[in-house]
A and B are shown apart, each in its own frame.
Chain A
């Protein structure tokens, strides 16, 4: 029995190693879970892309849920996500708020006119200051905010049909269930 002990030790290490590999294929190692889930979205006042004189604030958007989608014309993954938003954006059931992140206004406008505009409104964060409050560390990212202004779900990386079906839609369905 004691002769087999090293073998069992080895087996244990193999299992641990295998588990580590499996775990890393299941999770994006670079993903940093947001501490803001189920916390109020940070107060923001940001200008609109098409009319910078007009601003949008968190409090103005209170009352019904919406999805903030952080995008930029320089962001490659946003280009992959964009067609998905174009085809499925209307079907998810909440307004899409485009969050133009650290982008040049003209580039953003060109990008949207070239690829289409899936957003109900687009707000601009040129310096990325408000994005820090949201804990944004790249694009694309998406935040589901409920009618009380609380962040309920965050997607880091592009929204794919699979993510929309498996994560976003259930999260939205949960919101409409609790709404009076």
Chain B
């Protein structure tokens, strides 16, 4: 099948050529649009709001800090990437706090005081987040325990079988 099978020339369709043609064109247009969108995304990320950074180092610090903070409106986006109005406001807030000489931790605390730990992509370790931090290890331990028990049991069973009938071909597998 040719990759251009949806276009009329390559694959004439009798019953409904016009529809087919428009579809082909629509597909092409859609593809073009998607490509364009891809680039506008990049352009936005760059020119989302030009902030007057003192130097490159500060801009880098700003970028990495806003990437660790969650946008409250589109909650799966970080502050650096979000186009939401509030995200822009919060970026400006972060920028202003930076100009005031606040440290990253102070800026994070400032936002946590207002929007709770939810703004942090990296949750702090405290009593209420213990399960979040150590839950996976608990599950891993449980899994390991199951494996150990199973292996031991099978080892014992195999040994018992071996003692009974050395010629057994291992039907239980």
User: A residues bordering B, Cβ < 8 Å?
Assistant: 30, 32-36, 102, 127-129, 132-135, 137-138
Q: Mark B102-141, 1 if CB is under 8 A from A, else 0.
A: 0000000000111110100000000000000000000000
Chain A residues within 8 Å of B90, by CB: 132
Q: Is the CB of A132 within 8 A of B93?
A: yes
Q: How far is the CA of A129 from the CA of B89 in the complex (A)?
A: 8
Q: How far is the CA of A137 from the CA of B118 in the complex (A)?
A: 12
Chain B residues within 8 Å of A36, by CB: 113-114
Q: Is the CB of A138 within 8 A of B86?
A: yes
Q: Tally A-B pairs: CB < 8 A.
A: 37
Q: How far is the CA of A35 from the CA of B93 in the complex (A)?
A: 19
Q: Is the CB of A132 within 8 A of B85?
A: no
Chain B residues within 8 Å of A34, by CB: 116
Nearest B residue to A39, CB-CB: B113
| Distance to closest chain B CB from A163 (angstroms) | 21
Q: How far is the CA of A176 from the CA of B152 in the complex (A)?
A: 67
B72 CB–A CB distance under 8 Å:
yes
From A33, A35, A128, A133, give the contact of B86 (CB < 8 A).
Answer: A128
| Distance to closest chain B CB from A128 (angstroms) | 5
Q: Is the CB of A32 within 8 A of B115?
A: yes
B75 CB–A CB distance under 8 Å:
yes
Q: Is the CB of B75 within 8 A of A135?
A: no
B10 CB–A CB distance under 8 Å:
no
Q: How far is the CA of A171 from the CA of B17 in the complex (A)?
A: 67
Q: Is the CB of B114 within 8 A of A32?
A: no
Chain A residues within 8 Å of B113, by CB: 35-36
B73 CB–A CB distance under 8 Å:
yes
Take A137-B72, A137-B73 as given contacts and tell me if A128 and B89 are in contact as well, using a CB distance cutoff of 8 Å.
yes
A–B complex contacts, Cβ < 8 Å, 9 sampled: A32-B115, A34-B116, A35-B112, A35-B114, A35-B115, A135-B115, A137-B72, A137-B86, A137-B115
Nearest A residue to B114, CB-CB: A135
Chain A residues within 8 Å of B75, by CB: 30
| Distance to closest chain B CB from A125 (angstroms) | 11
Q: Which 4 A-B pairs have the closest CB atoms?
A: A137-B72, A135-B114, A35-B116, A32-B118
Q: How far is the CA of A135 from the CA of B90 in the complex (A)?
A: 11
Chain A residues within 8 Å of B116, by CB: 32-35, 135
Nearest A residue to B153, CB-CB: A2
| Distance to closest chain B CB from A165 (angstroms) | 27
Q: Is the CB of B72 within 8 A of A132?
A: no
Chain B residues within 8 Å of A132, by CB: 89-90, 93, 114
Q: Is the CB of A102 within 8 A of B115?
A: no
Q: How far is the CA of A35 from the CA of B114 in the complex (A)?
A: 6
Chain B residues within 8 Å of A102, by CB: 85
Q: How far is the CA of A30 from the CA of B115 in the complex (A)?
A: 13
* Residues of chain B in range 58-96 having any CB-CB distance to chain A below 8 Å: 72-73, 75, 85-86, 89-90, 93
| Distance to closest chain B CB from A162 (angstroms) | 25
Q: Mark B160-172, 1 if CB is under 8 A from A, else 0.
A: 0000000000000
Chain A residues within 8 Å of B115, by CB: 32, 35, 135, 137
Q: How far is the CA of A35 from the CA of B115 in the complex (A)?
A: 7
Residue in A34, A35, A137 whose Cβ sees the most chain B Cβ within 10 Å: A137
Q: How far is the CA of A30 from the CA of B72 in the complex (A)?
A: 8
